[in-house]
Each structure stands twice: as structure tokens, then as C-alpha cells.
Amino acid sequence: MFETIRKALATQLGIDESKITAESKIVEDLGADSLDVVELLMNLEEEYNISVSEDEAAKISTVGDFVALVESKTK
């Protein structure tokens, strides 16, 4: 799951995958804005047929948070 999300972030943000770790802060370290996060969430919701609430989305700050949330929804 980490690799999938890392690849999606790298593509969306135009950065090298090697710069993305589970500890990377999506906004501070990777330069994403709120629209980037929403777009990525929408893509992952569609790809994995999951639903993420606004409250859940608001708790995402690192790539690891993203991975944990998607993994918890796909079990």
C-alpha cells in the first residue's frame, strides 16, 4: 500500500519517489496543498472503493497516516 500511495503522491506532486517516506509530512515536507490532498483521497476512494470522512481526512498529516487510513478501510 505504501508503494501505491508513494507513487500516486510522486506523480501528483511532480517529485521523486525516493524523497517520500512514511514519515514525510504531506504539506510541510512534500509541498502539497489541501487540493492535492483532496484529489489524492478522491482517487484512492475510487480505486479502492472506500469512503473517507472529512474528520478522518483532517487527521492525515504524514504519508504513513494516509497508508494506515487506506489499509484500515480496505480490510
Query: In this predicted model, what pLDDT tens digit does every residue of 9-65 receive, in sequence order?
Result: 999 999 999 999 999 999 999 999 989 999 999 999 999 999 999 999 999 999 999
* 33 is known as an active-site residue: yes
Dihedral through CA 15, CA 37, CA 62, CA 65, nearest 10? -130
d(CA 32, CA 72): 23
Catalytic residue among 16, 29, 33, 55: 33
- Whether residue 68 is predicted with pLDDT greater than 90 in this model: the reply is yes
- Whether residue 75 is predicted with pLDDT greater than 90 in this model: the reply is no
